[in-house]
Structure 1
């Protein structure tokens, strides 16, 4: 047998995602290239690794055993690389972070210099909704999670990064009555929601329920970016985090509608399980945040102060 490490990596990803298309997207390869590598890998085994039923790909029981072995081999190869770097006096290893979708506008700025200064550190950052972020943390699949609302039923340590403010926003050219009420904004104007499980949606629903508004027209979209584009296009309005909307506000694509009781203010927190044995890389990252956090906020997010009086 002459299978390569590259083939093992591809087959492992296919087995994890149960899809050649999804595997090619995650690996940044073309679908034909992934299919060819799977075919070449399969030819080295007398037993099928995968099967297609109803146009859907499944990994056979034998394939699952090979995938487990592939994972062990890949982990050992990574360990060799990390040990080599450590022997040379360089910090090395993986740093795994799960981030709620809006956090993609925050977390990279707190990691950029750390990654630049530590070439031996490999970053794995998953951006998804709050429910999946907390599930990854609970299953010990990641070192840290970034959330704006702390979990109630998990024992975690926290590091506060910065505030998160949510405003009522509309298309810049939306015409409103000269005199309008909060009730008009929520009951007469179409509202655009994030999907269930999103912290932004929870905050928005909490505000609406607190004031007993009856929303008659609403849409649901699955990412903050999709909500932003829908609001810009004029489909409706929404309560959205200020972070991530800087350019749209600056370019007069969006505008903030002042509403009594808004903004809703939460805090971006980096959290990790109290039972977690942090790796040297994770500990080094916490030390880095302790030293650099305030400088990063001042350098990258001082523009937020421009909206404090809205």
Structure 2
């Protein structure tokens, strides 16, 4: 055997993504380069690591065992680097965070100073849907998660960060067409929904149920960014977290409809398992957030009230 750590990393990525294309994107390599590394790695085994069925790549049972072993080898290799850094008085290790899709507008700012100060820390941040975030937390695969709606049935520690304000938004053309003032008027407009299980969808439906509102669901999309693009294209209106609309509000591409009872809101929380033994890296990050969160939020998100007021005034 003469495999390299790079080959292990490439194969582990392929086994996780199930795709040469996605692996190339994640590894910042060309597809041919990934394919070559896979071939060179495969040549060292008599049993096939992968098979292609109907143009789809599958990992064989043998390949899955090799991937599991590769993950352990890479973790041990990383441990050597972290030990070396620790002896040099550097905070070193991995920080693993899972973030719901709209949390991508918040978490980078919470991480920025920490990552700049601790160059020996490797960050693994997964931006995904709420169900995947909760699953990774339950499986103890991450140190922290960022959610806008607290999950039930899990024993958690949590730190509230800031309000997540949701408004009714439309593009400029549709905003001029609709006369929306009360929440009952929402029954007259086509609404674009997030997928079932998302925090935004949950908050929306709780509001509708509490106020006995029956609305027309125009379409359902799986990411906040997809919803935003659909609203920009004039396919309908939506109820969206204002935190992801800074540029569109500033440029006048989206307008907030002044609906009575809005914003509806939830709270962004940093959460972690109650009995989890935090690593030195995770502990240091938590301490920094506890100390600096108010200053970070004020500096990075102080624009929200001003932009909302400007948008609503422009609509009226």
Look up the match of 1:218. Answer: 218
Moved more, 96-105 or 49-58: 49-58
Q: CA deviation at 1:69?
A: 1.8
Q: CA deviation at 1:308?
A: 6.9
Please list the CA deviations of residues 91-150 of structure 1 after superposition, one character each: whole Å capped at 9, or x if unmatched.
000000000100000111011010000000011110111111111100001000001111
Q: CA deviation at 1:241?
A: 0.5
Q: Distance in 2 between matches of 1:27 and 1:133?
A: 22
Matches within 5 A, 1:1-310: 1-174=1-174, 175-176=176-177, 181-184=182-185, 186-306=186-306
Q: Distance in 2 between matches of 1:86 and 1:246?
A: 40
Q: Secondary structure at the match of 2:14?
A: helix
RMSD over aligned CA atoms reads 1.6
TM-score (norm 1): 0.95
Q: Secondary structure at the match of 1:24?
A: helix
Q: Which runs of 5+ in 2 are unaligned?
A: none
Q: CA deviation at 1:180?
A: 5.7
Q: CA deviation at 1:176?
A: 3.2
Moved more, 258-267 or 63-72: 63-72
Q: Secondary structure at the match of 1:252?
A: coil
Q: Which runs of 5+ in 1 are unaligned?
A: none
Q: Distance in 1 between matches of 2:172 and 2:69?
A: 55
- Aligned residues between the structures: 309
Q: Distance in 1 between matches of 2:25 and 2:146?
A: 24
Q: Distance in 2 between matches of 1:193 and 1:100?
A: 16
Q: CA deviation at 1:179?
A: 7.4
Taking structure 1 as reference, are residues 47 and 214 closer, same or farther at Cα in structure 2, changes over 3 Å only?
A: same
Runs of 4+ residues deviating >4 angstroms:
177-181, 307-310
TM-score (norm 2): 0.93
Is the CA contact 1:157–1:274 (under 8 Å) kept in the aligned structure 2? yes
Taking structure 1 as reference, are residues 71 and 266 closer, same or farther at Cα in structure 2, changes over 3 Å only?
A: same
Moved more, 11-20 or 95-104: 11-20
